[in-house]
Amino acid sequence: MDRLNNPARLMIVSDLDHTMVDHHDAENLSLLRFNALWESTYRHDSLLVFSTGRSPTLYKELRKEKPMLTPDITIMSVGTEITYGEAMVPDDGWEEYLNNKWDRNIVIEETSKFSQLKFQSETEQRPHKVSFYVEKEHAQEIMKSLSVSLEKRGLDVKIIYSGGMDLDILPQGAGKGQALAYLLKKFKAVGKLPVNTLVCGDSGNDAELFSIPEVHGVMVSNAQEELLQWHAANAKDNPKIIHATERCAAGIIQAIGHFKLGPNVSPRDVVDFSSTKSDHFNPGHELVNFYLVHERWCRGEIEKSEELIQNLKNITCPGGVIIHPSGVENSLHQCIGTFGPRYGDKQGKQFRVWVDKVSCSQIGSGAWLVKFDKWEINDGGRQCCLTTVLLNSKVDNPEGFQLVHVHQTWLEGYAATNQTSWIW
């Protein structure tokens, strides 16, 4: 919560499965579009929150499968766990709050009386969440009976049915909506209430997010029947909640534009980057575009031209160096020289590049130190470099900046056995 000195310009709170992440999008294009928009435009002054029904175990598995960004805050296990930053530091105050009128042993004892309830995997059973599978035709009757029996036992619980099969029992004070309300209260207490908050979801366990006053909300086009029914019954006249016409992350991008919360054109949707120049130098924007040019060149998606190679030389300092993850140092201009023959060498392959956690520090007049994770996926394999770049903003350069120094280090577990390019 301390990453930003001022209130976030925008805080996006998004469910993951079938909202931020489209499991029917084999190439993850909508997710990559969102990634490029966030890192180029919002990361430096906004907050990204993932709110998922997944446990920490399944959340980490999803991160290994999909090209997801690192959020500032993670809400997991249907709003029963809140963690901060990449290290996922737990919020002890939230855990203490949820202990009120909650006894997990009593929940298990009472639910054992319903043969229709089948336990979900052990990873999904959490300190403040007991999770089952149940067939749709039995769900409502069981929920009513359980509410009565657990109340008689002195518990104050919440029962959430979502996805047409998942039944979660939580403390009454838990849930995605309550977790968000708790966070907003903490931000307000320190004078950092976000200027705008956008919540995003697709299923029944996301409904609470849309109940928080003053937030904007988007139900993605592929939202499930249970969420649409909740909206029709509770919020159909709320102009701050829309049903997008785009799926998943593309629907989130659409909502940013609909509510005028900020720019919503992803760099991945831009054909000519020269037409997107800003009056204000933005290192994140420049680096996202820089690596997108690399991806498109290798995929053969842009015209092969000497002019582009010359432009790359123009934005690299003649005396600049790159330090490869192996520790070998090379000239930036020499690296540019090896770039030309790579045109189209990834054509027809599953090759994508994205950056994560772009962090910029101005270290002098026109000088910026930028740190980020640079990811590549190639035919199913992934590799990541922790990258530090020194940039100079140059008024006399048509590109607006010059790349002076690049230092790369393999992220543990992602070292490649062969690296065909020095600069990238």
pLDDT, residue 398, reads 53
Exposure of 405 by Cβ count < 10 A (0-12 exposed, 13-18 middle, 19+ buried)?
middle
User: Bridge-partner residues for 360, per DSSP?
Assistant: 370
Label the pairing between strands 216-219 and 197-201.
Answer: parallel
Across the range 80-104, mean pLDDT stands at: 95
Cβ-defined contacts of 234-243 (< 8 Å, 24+) = 234/207, 235/210, 235/211, 238/210, 240/215, 240/216, 241/210, 241/216, 241/217, 242/217, 242/218, 243/218, 243/219
Which residue do the tokens 């999803």 mark? Answer: 62
pLDDT, residue 311, reads 86
Short-list 385, 75, 82, 302, CA closest to 200: 75
pLDDT, residue 389, reads 93
Q: Is the pLDDT of residue 412 over 50?
A: yes
Distances in whole angstroms, Cα of residue 412 to Cα of each of 371, 376, 384, 400, 409: 17, 14, 9, 34, 9
pLDDT, residue 34, reads 98
pLDDT, residue 366, reads 83
C-beta separation of 249 from 272 below 8 A? no
Across the range 63-68, mean pLDDT stands at: 96
Structure confidence at residue 207 as a pLDDT band (50, 70, 90): very high
Exposure of 415 by Cβ count < 10 A (0-12 exposed, 13-18 middle, 19+ buried)?
middle
Q: Which residues contact 243 (CB under 8 A, 6 or more apart)?
A: 218, 219, 221, 223, 228, 231
Residue positions counted in the chain: 424
Exposure of 382 by Cβ count < 10 A (0-12 exposed, 13-18 middle, 19+ buried)?
middle
Across the range 383-388, mean pLDDT stands at: 93
Which residue do the tokens 């006053």 mark? Answer: 213
User: What does the pLDDT look like over 283-298, one tens digit per residue?
Assistant: 999 999 999 999 999 9
pLDDT, residue 401, reads 77
Integer Cα distance of 165 and 397 in angstroms: 58
What percentage of the chain reaches a pLDDT higher than 90? 73
Backbone angles phi and psi of 141, in degrees to 5: -65, -45
